[in-house]
Every structure is written in structure tokens, then in C-alpha cells.
Chains A and B, each alone.
Chain A
Amino acid sequence: MNAAALVRYVLRRIGLAIAVLWAAFTVSFIVLYLMPGDPVATMAGGGLDGEPLTPAELDALRARYGLDQPLIVQYGQHLWNALHGDFGTSVQSGQDVRAAIAEALPPTLQIATAGLVVAIVGGTALAVVATFTRVRWLKQALLGLPSLAVSLPVFWVGLMLVQIFSFGLRLFPSVGAEGPASLVLPAITLGLPTGALVAQVLAKSLDQTLTEPYVTTARAKGVGRAAIHLRHALRNAAIPALTVLGYVVGNLLAGSVVVETVFTRPGIGRLTVAAVGVQDIPLVQGIVVFAAVVFVLVNLVVDLTYPLLDPRIATGATA
């Protein structure tokens, strides 16, 4: 193994991650601050009291948020603050944006983790069975399930689960965040579209892996079909499936917006909906950048784990 190549690989990945974060900050700045409309007027008009402000008060507000400065100065100021982890204060509550996100994070982490487990277990099981079975119609039916699952509106799936399992069978609570029972329905709702993605990617990768020469070798040596499938093929097929992990986690975070609304749970999703509702620009930007940070971090971890799982990647050898 070439150490220099590995170091170069790691450095390039970290550099790329930082570049993406900077760009994500810039994109959210452009969207939120350069769009038509005066942020202060909308902030002032969107306040709870809803009383129109006098021009003098508006100017004071502008000065307070630095909006009287030229845009490029504002951008530099915001970027400089963001580099120190300071995304300003929420217009609505006056709370520090970072504190607000940190406070909302634990409940979202709970349903996201539970959703991820549902997605990975369900998606893997479906992919393994679909590629293992020799019954043609069963394989077709199983491989059709993911595209069915992604066609259903997430909010509707959540409400139907509540309808059936909370009001019909009275198995799980319909709202709230107390106890593990309240986690079941949100986790299924959140995990369904994500699991569909996992199943699609993994089934494709498994089908490909099963044509590799080492599978034939193992088969010739008398290893059973099930053992080849689970012990040899699945392990190798899982590596390409890891690439979608960043996307999957981003999906879970985005899905929390709808799922937390449907199940009336606290968390990042509800925070986002509330922030958009009152046009709380600093808070919305904080959440968008936070989502990008999560995406970039997960991808960075995946990219850095790769060479450990598959040494061909760091050395640049082709498979």
C-alpha cells in the first residue's frame, strides 16, 4: 500500500468537503438575502404582533442586522461569523441559532436513527430475498416494491399508519415523543422511502456481485447458495451501497420536516417549519448549512472508510 497516495486521497477529500460547505453557505446566503423583497420588512411584518414599524424603527432594525451595509460586506461578515460557528440569533425568539438547533437535535436524532434502522434492515432484507429467490414472480414483485414506496406521499403514509395503528388497532400513540412506542410509527414513515432507496441500490449491486468470478469459484468448491449470498456476496455488495449513505442521511433529515409535523413531535423538522412560517432568515440559513454539514461529514467518513474496506480505491487500481 502506497502511503503517499493514501495521504493525498485523504487531503483531497477533506479539501473537497470544505469547499462544498463554503459553497453551501454561499448558496443559502444568495437565496435568503438576495432574493427580491426586503428581509427586514418581511421580518418586521411577519412578527407575532404584526404591527407596522415606523421608518426609523426599520432603519434601526436594518442597522442591527447589518443590512444597511453593502451586500459584499454583509456576506463577508456573515461568513466570518459562520466560520466561528455563529449564525446569529433567531428573529422570532431571539435565541442563538446554534443553541436552537442543538436543542431541537436530540428528538430528531432519535427518529432519524430509528428510521435508518428500519431503512437498512428492511431495505437489506428485501434486496437479499429478491436476489436470492428463484421464483420469478416473487422477484418481480419484490423489486417493484421500492418504486411503489417512493410514489406514496410521505405525509399520507404517516397519517394512514396513525389511522390504522393508533385509532384502529390502538397499538401505538398517534402523537408525542414519550417512550419507545411513540417512535415506531414515525420510524416506519421515515424509513419507508429511505429503505426503498437502500433496497434499489443494494439489489443492483448484489446482482452484479453474484456474477463475479470468486462467486463461481466458491460455488465450484461446494459452498452452498445461501452461504455465498450472505457471507461472500452481501459483504462485497455493501461497499457500493455505502456511497448513498450521505444521501440517505440527508433524506432522513429532510423527511423529519414532514414526519415531525404529522406526528406532532419536537425536533429540527418542526423548528424548520416554524422558522419558515415567520420568515426567520438566520434560523433557516442555520438549518440549511447544518444539513449540508451533516451531508458532507457523512460523505467524508464514508470516503475515508473506503480505503480500509477496499484497498483498491486508495491505490487507484481498477477493480
Chain B
Amino acid sequence: MTELLERPQSALPEPVPVQVTRPDRGKLLRFLGHRPGLVLSLLMVAFVLVAAFAPGLLAPGDPGVGDTAERLQPPSPAHIFGTDYLGRDVWTRVVHGASLSLQATVIAVAVALVIGGLIGLLAGFVRGWLDDLLMRVVDVLLAIPAVLLSLALITALGYGTVKVAIAVGVASVASFARVMRAETLRVRQATYVEAAYAVGTRWYVTLWRHVLPNAAGPVAVLAVLEFGLAILAVSALSFLGYGAPPPAPEWGSLVAEGRNYLAVAWWLCALPGLTIAATVLAVNRISRALDGEWRRFR
């Protein structure tokens, strides 16, 4: 029953042999030249990163200050995303909200990666009853829808950007544990691991120096894919009101604020939501490119 519930593991690449040759610039240009969508995605992600780390470059204004005389203005050259019910510039709020939303997403993926990775590494390396126990726990995590698991965690932890991020991260531990375990099982059969044992390397050194680096590749690809899912989950929880308290311009809560003015000001919901969608699409496109597309390209 669970085969198809797993992430498409076949889509994960074989271990990438470490390339010693320098990256070929001509190949990179040709690769991107055939993929305008990928170029757009890279630009979008670059834009979000700039917005997160240097919001002032893209929107010099203050996201919390508005001119009530200019309230509910539709998009125009002066306010390209329009203004909200307090006259605050929506573009400025979206740009300044990027850091909060990105921060939550990074924490969520990090939590899932570290906890899931450790569970998978232990299960695959130690095997035996521990493997059985850990994988059964992972199966159970898959039986509870991720949103409900996140909500249960929020009930226990409380509100806030970081708590929402942790809740989303813990809810997506299961897929990381599965991929990491499968990779560890594969790598520990390798001759170099056997050789490490043969020369008397301690098990934890073997695990850290030999198994982990060679099993990490597919898990890293999964992490990029998980990024898109985490953006969606974090923004949904923030839309429901569990994120940072109101004045903070988190992307999900921007859409929630605009909801009350849906009939009179379409841009309040449409444009921040479109930003979320574009970011997720861009991240997913990049994860597809990382997922073997580059290696298959000649």
C-alpha cells in the first residue's frame, strides 16, 4: 500500500560521481539557452533572495507606514502592487515580508533535513530492530496528514514564525528519513566502507567520513523540492493566522488581510498570492533541473 505514497525515488539521481573537471562555461550557457523557464526561475529566486537580505534595494519605503489618503489604490506606476486599507504600499510589504517567509521556510527545511536525515542514517546504518522501529514511526507520520500534524504541534508550541516553521519541518521529517535510509543502505554495501572497517576505522568515523557524504546527494535534491512544499505550508499556516502577529507582512498573512477587501480591491489578495505561487514554481523548476536534468545534458 505504501509504494506509491513514497516520493518518486526513481526520480532521484544515482550518486553523482565527484567531478574533478572544471565546470564548462559553454555547456552551462547552452543548457540554460534551451531552458528559458529555468532562467526565469533562477531570476525569480535571485529576486526573492535580494528581497530577503536587502529589501531596501527593491522597496526603499517603510512597510508599516501608509498614507490613509492613498488607501485602496489600484496598481499604478507609483504603487505597482497597489495600496491596502491603510494606504500602505503592497509591493513594499511583499518585498519586506520575503525575509520572514524565507526564514520560516529555511528553518522548516533544516528541521526536516536534520531530524529526518539522522533517523534515516541511524536506521540504515544500524539496521535490525532499530531500523524496524524507526521506519514504523515514519509510516505512522505518513498516516497523519501533514497539515493536521503541524496544527497539533502548533497547539502544543504556540504561535509565531519560528514555531510555525518547526511545526512544518517536523511534519515533513518522514520523507527525508525514507530517502536517507535508502541511500545509507546502498552506500554501506560499498567496497570503500568495507575497506574502512578492514583498516580498523571506528564506526562513527566511518559513518561521518564515508557514509554520510556519499549518501547526502539525493537527500539534498529532496531538500530543494521540499523547499517549495515548505513555502506553501508555511504560508497556509500564516494565512490561518498562526504566524507572526498582524503588522508583520508575512506572505500568507498579507493574503489573509486582503481577504476582507476582496470585493473592492482584488490586488490585495491576487498579487501577494501570485508572488508565493511564482516562488514555489521557480523552486520546483530548479529542483527538477538539479534532479538529473543537468547530468543527462550533453
Which A residues are within 8 Å of any B CB, using their own CB? 19-20, 23-24, 27-28, 31-32, 35-37, 42, 147-148, 151-156, 159-160, 162-163, 167, 174, 201, 240, 243-244, 246-247, 250-251, 253-255, 257-258, 261-262, 272-273, 275-277, 279-281, 284-285, 287-288, 291-292, 295-296, 299, 302-303
Q: Does B125 contact A (CB under 8 A)?
A: no
Chain A residues with Cβ under 8 A from B274's Cβ? 156
Question: What are 11 A-B interface contacts by the 8 Å CB criterion?
Answer: A19-B136, A24-B143, A37-B156, A159-B269, A240-B4, A243-B1, A251-B145, A253-B148, A254-B146, A272-B151, A296-B143
Pairwise interchain contact B141-A147, C-beta atoms closer than 8 A: no
What's the least CB distance linking A240 to chain B, in Å? 7
Pairwise interchain contact B153-A31, C-beta atoms closer than 8 A: yes
Chain A residues with Cβ under 8 A from B157's Cβ? 35-37
Please tell me which one of the listed residues B3, B144, B151, B239 contacts residue A292 in the complex, with CB atoms under 8 A apart: B144
Pairwise interchain contact A276-B155, C-beta atoms closer than 8 A: yes
In this complex, the member of B1, B239, B270, B273 whose beta carbon has the largest number of chain A beta carbons within 10 angstroms is B1
Q: Does B43 contact A (CB under 8 A)?
A: no
Interface string of B211-234 (1 = CB under 8 A from A): 000000000000000001000100
Pairwise interchain contact A147-B284, C-beta atoms closer than 8 A: yes
Pairwise interchain contact B235-A153, C-beta atoms closer than 8 A: yes
Pairwise interchain contact A257-B269, C-beta atoms closer than 8 A: no
8 nearest interchain CB pairs? A156-B273, A254-B145, A35-B156, A254-B147, A23-B140, A151-B280, A243-B4, A250-B145
Q: Does B236 contact A (CB under 8 A)?
A: yes
A277 to B152 CA separation, bound complex (whole angstroms): 11
With A27-B140, A28-B152, A35-B157 as known contacts, state yes or no: A163 contacts B147, CB within 8 Å: no
What's the least CB distance linking B41 to chain A, in Å? 11
Pairwise interchain contact B141-A27, C-beta atoms closer than 8 A: yes
Please tell me which one of the listed residues A151, A250, A258 contacts residue B284 in the complex, with CB atoms under 8 A apart: A151
Q: In the complex, which residue of chain B has the Cβ closest to the Cβ of A280? A: B155
User: How many residue pairs between the two chains, A and B, have CB atoms under 8 Å in the bound complex?
Assistant: 154
Q: In the complex, which residue of chain A has the Cβ closest to the Cβ of B139? A: A20
Chain B residues with Cβ under 8 A from A148's Cβ? 281
Chain A residues with Cβ under 8 A from B235's Cβ? 153, 155
What's the least CB distance linking B157 to chain A, in Å? 6
Chain B residues with Cβ under 8 A from A253's Cβ? 145, 148
Pairwise interchain contact B148-A288, C-beta atoms closer than 8 A: yes
Q: Does B259 contact A (CB under 8 A)?
A: yes
Instruction: Scan residues 72-98 of chain B and give those whose CB is less than 8 A from a CB of chain A.
Output: none
Chain B residues with Cβ under 8 A from A276's Cβ? 151, 154-155, 242
Pairwise interchain contact A162-B262, C-beta atoms closer than 8 A: yes
In this complex, the member of B141, B156, B241, B255 whose beta carbon has the largest number of chain A beta carbons within 10 angstroms is B156
Q: Does B13 contact A (CB under 8 A)?
A: no
Q: In the complex, which residue of chain B has the Cβ closest to the Cβ of A33? A: B156
Q: Does B245 contact A (CB under 8 A)?
A: no
Please tell me which one of the listed residues B3, B144, B276 contacts residue A243 in the complex, with CB atoms under 8 A apart: B3
A272 to B241 CA separation, bound complex (whole angstroms): 13
Q: Does B277 contact A (CB under 8 A)?
A: yes
A134 to B153 CA separation, bound complex (whole angstroms): 48
Instruction: Scan residues 1-52 of chain B and give those whose CB is less than 8 A from a CB of chain A.
Output: 1, 3-5
